Amino acid sequence: MRRKLTQRGRDRRDQLLDHAARLFAERGYHPTAVSDIVASLGVGKGVFYWYFSSKEELLVEILKASHLDLRRRQQAAIGDEPDPVRRIELGIRASLAWFAQHREYFAIIQFAATDETFAPVLRRNREIGLADTIKHLKEAMVEHQIADQDPEVLANAIHGVVDQLTRRCVLERDEPVERVADAAVDFCLGGLRVSPAS
According to CB under 8 A, which one of 94, 169, 177, 181 is a site residue for a second copy? 169
Which partner from the list DNA, a second copy, none does 5 bind, CB cut-off 5 to 8 Å by kind?
Answer: DNA
Q: Are 162 and 186 in contact (CB under 8 A)?
A: no
* Best CA proximity match to 17, nearest among 77, 1, 4: 1
Q: Name, in order, each residue with C-beta under 8 angstroms of 4's C-beta and a sequence gap of 6 or more.
A: none
Q: Which of 2, 8, 147, 174 binds a second copy (CB under 8 A)?
A: 147
Span interacting with DNA, options 1-9, 75-83, 149-157, 167-175, rule CB under 7 A: 1-9
Alpha-carbon dihedral 169, 171, 174, 176, rounded to 10 degrees: 70
Which of 32, 66, 74, 125 touches DNA (CB under 7 A)? 32
List residues binding a second copy (CB under 8 A).
27-28, 30-31, 83, 85, 107, 110-111, 113-116, 144-147, 149-150, 153-154, 156-157, 159-165, 168-169, 180, 183-184, 186-195, 197-198
